[in-house]
Structure 1
């Protein structure tokens, strides 16, 4: 296929660190999504949260002359931990057939199941469509020349769905549960939108917390001191220890977050008497509150719901934030005013026979998920 002059002016590079790109030029392409921002991704890198867990930076960028016009945040991976689009069964099937599934290529925000832009580009640029196609071709070329089994783009924006389909990628459907703020005046106003049974259940759960003597503190942005992060990190690590697993993020990562100019961290801490017993961590923008991690050193049946759902909902109402994204999975959120939201990932499988098998699997899985969403 012949190239236009605009195509030939677009130069693809592969970089192994975001230090190679100025924050301002990268963030000009990210549509203000905090989890794909230069600050967030570089923090993961500089805090050494990536490589110990099998994330090796392999970002693709496109420059026209000296101007960054498109990018694809990408990582070479030797496992599937921290992706939240589960392909372990694909890896097992591929390797049973004699193939080598890892390493693979993944375009995502590590450890963050948050929908956002993945093909980063400037829509005002006249050749942004050519740049997007060039990124896809570059990812495919890397897989082919480096012997990688596949390329996976996780939690991309629905507005890019038709483009990925047009490039021949396989589409995987998922579902999460989000809460929307319909200009509620307060939490009581939100409760009026639920059935009587669900209103009573939530009121009962919240009363249990009050009766237990638990007090909630909310600390934001630069008001979060190192001592607060020390507390939260203990809670965060406790969640992984209970699952016989290792924390993905280290304390240095959390300490750096307080200095960000691109988003605001929020801590929700629970206290019994003089002792903190649990905490939840979220990132806030003007449009969305992203609930991310939580942990506790004591058992309280309703504390998770209070910190991660009810307190965050109240925070959204108070601060006029339009949406709460409380993370992956959790059908129990439906009873607490959340609603199902479709998520998407795109997959390029190099080996034709395996690609065909995955395509058939995805057809069946998509039908099942669509039927499930329709039943809610």
Structure 2
């Protein structure tokens, strides 16, 4: 049975697609991915051309799938291969277009090859053929889960790349104070002081779910989100319509916390909930306040996760400042199959060196965690 390419996820029945998902992570849902397409956040001239791979049985039932995009650049991926592309340009080797299997603008690990192992294995072969037959320079499968790691790790020709993020785990805390009590005295005082500084500026917070948000709320959310790009002179990835579509199609997963001062909103943090995890995604402010970022993006999320019995808070990629706030280093993985032999050999050597550095860094980073050791304070 041939692997087909879908240029519009709207052409796939949402129930069939969602039935393939192994867990409750929201980013793989038909509603999320189709909202990206229909809002114009991907497709068109964005450099993200939807090219989802699907395998259907003779009866039309979906057997396997992979969210995939042809890329003409490397923006919005969070697994950085700019140096590979630059080396190719200097050597006269074509690097773009490349095929990316992953979620646009979303550095969250999860399933990438959907379906039962035998069917998903057919996708692995088809993706390898894309490179071997020179239809693209390479295939990149970003932020994978254990099942995808097992499939690609057992296949020939795939190069594994490690990364490091910072996630917070709920150790059965009763409330935020219980979490603070688990920290060393110095770090406990620092976090408490930061929260007091924000409260002392007259700022309070309101959490809302997707179904409670009006178009005016979404206008504010997008304005804040866009501001984080505008200060760097960049265009935001997500279009305004994306937020309205998400609010319509999966409101139960949406959480937004608004920071108010004098009864008016001044900042927000947008999150999604799936399974036992809070996923912090976008933040922005329309006025500058001391320590507001830490409170809105981290402490409010910790409060929410504890209060709702969630086991994990994934606050996004990068950010060593998360370590002293209790977020622990977590290894992430991506997989790469490259067509040009010289490029493949050079990247393999680079990744071996990088791997050792990432593992050493993650181990060293644990020394910066704020938790009390052996009952000490």
Task: Tell whether the structures are fold-level matches, with TM greater than 0.5.
Answer: yes
Per the alignment, residue 69 of structure 1 pairs with 63
Which 10-residue stretch deviates more, 156-165 or 92-101? 156-165
SS at match of 2:96: coil
Tell whether the 8 Å contact from 1:104 to 1:143 is kept in structure 2 after alignment: no
Per the alignment, residue 30 of structure 1 pairs with 21
| Residue 207 of structure 2 corresponds to residue 214 of structure 1 | no
Alpha-carbon RMSD across the aligned residues, in angstroms, is 1.3
Per the alignment, residue 11 of structure 1 pairs with 2
SS at match of 2:283: strand
- The Cα shift of 1:136 comes to 1.5
- The Cα shift of 1:256 comes to 1.1
Per the alignment, residue 288 of structure 2 pairs with 299
Per the alignment, residue 103 of structure 1 pairs with 97
Per the alignment, residue 112 of structure 1 pairs with 106
Tell whether the 8 Å contact from 2:211 to 2:251 is kept in structure 1 after alignment: no
Distance (Å, rounded) in 2 between the aligned partners of 1:160 and 1:295 = 33
Q: Which of 254, 257, 265 is the equivalent residue of 2:246? A: 257
| Residue 125 of structure 2 corresponds to residue 137 of structure 1 | yes
Distance (Å, rounded) in 2 between the aligned partners of 1:143 and 1:12 = 15
Distance 1:263 1:367, change over 3 A: farther
Cα deviation digits, residues 222-261 of structure 1 (max 9, x gap): 0111111111111111111001000110111001111224
Per the alignment, residue 36 of structure 2 pairs with 44
Q: What stretches of structure 2 of length at least 5 have no aligned partner?
A: 366-377
- The Cα shift of 1:262 comes to 7.5
Distance 1:69 1:147, change over 3 A: closer
- The Cα shift of 1:221 comes to 2.0
Distance (Å, rounded) in 1 between the aligned partners of 2:13 and 2:134 = 28
Distance (Å, rounded) in 2 between the aligned partners of 1:263 and 1:153 = 29
Per the alignment, residue 326 of structure 1 pairs with 315
Per the alignment, residue 232 of structure 1 pairs with 221
Per the alignment, residue 140 of structure 2 pairs with 152
- The Cα shift of 1:307 comes to 0.6
Q: Which of 190, 196, 201 is the equivalent residue of 1:201? A: 190
Tell whether the 8 Å contact from 2:197 to 2:290 is kept in structure 1 after alignment: no
| Residue 85 of structure 2 corresponds to residue 91 of structure 1 | yes
Per the alignment, residue 50 of structure 2 pairs with 57
Within-5 A mapping of 1:336-351: 336-351=325-340
Q: What stretches of structure 1 of length at least 5 have no aligned partner?
A: 1-9, 123-127
Distance (Å, rounded) in 1 between the aligned partners of 2:265 and 2:307 = 24
Distance (Å, rounded) in 1 between the aligned partners of 2:76 and 2:252 = 22
Distance (Å, rounded) in 2 between the aligned partners of 1:375 and 1:234 = 38
SS at match of 1:372: helix
- The Cα shift of 1:263 comes to 4.7
Tell whether the 8 Å contact from 1:158 to 1:344 is kept in structure 2 after alignment: no
SS at match of 2:254: strand
Tell whether the 8 Å contact from 2:209 to 2:251 is kept in structure 1 after alignment: no
- The Cα shift of 1:274 comes to 3.2
Q: Which of 262, 267, 270 is the equivalent residue of 2:259? A: 270
Tell whether the 8 Å contact from 1:53 to 1:81 is kept in structure 2 after alignment: no
TM-score w.r.t. the length of structure 1 is 0.93
Cα deviation digits, residues 46-77 of structure 1 (max 9, x gap): 11110232110111111122211110111000
Which 10-residue stretch deviates more, 359-368 or 223-232? 223-232
Tell whether the 8 Å contact from 1:105 to 1:143 is kept in structure 2 after alignment: no
Distance (Å, rounded) in 1 between the aligned partners of 2:251 and 2:289 = 34
SS at match of 2:322: helix
Tell whether the 8 Å contact from 1:39 to 1:260 is kept in structure 2 after alignment: yes
SS at match of 2:56: strand
Distance (Å, rounded) in 2 between the aligned partners of 1:72 and 1:231 = 33
Per the alignment, residue 245 of structure 1 pairs with 234
SS at match of 1:11: coil
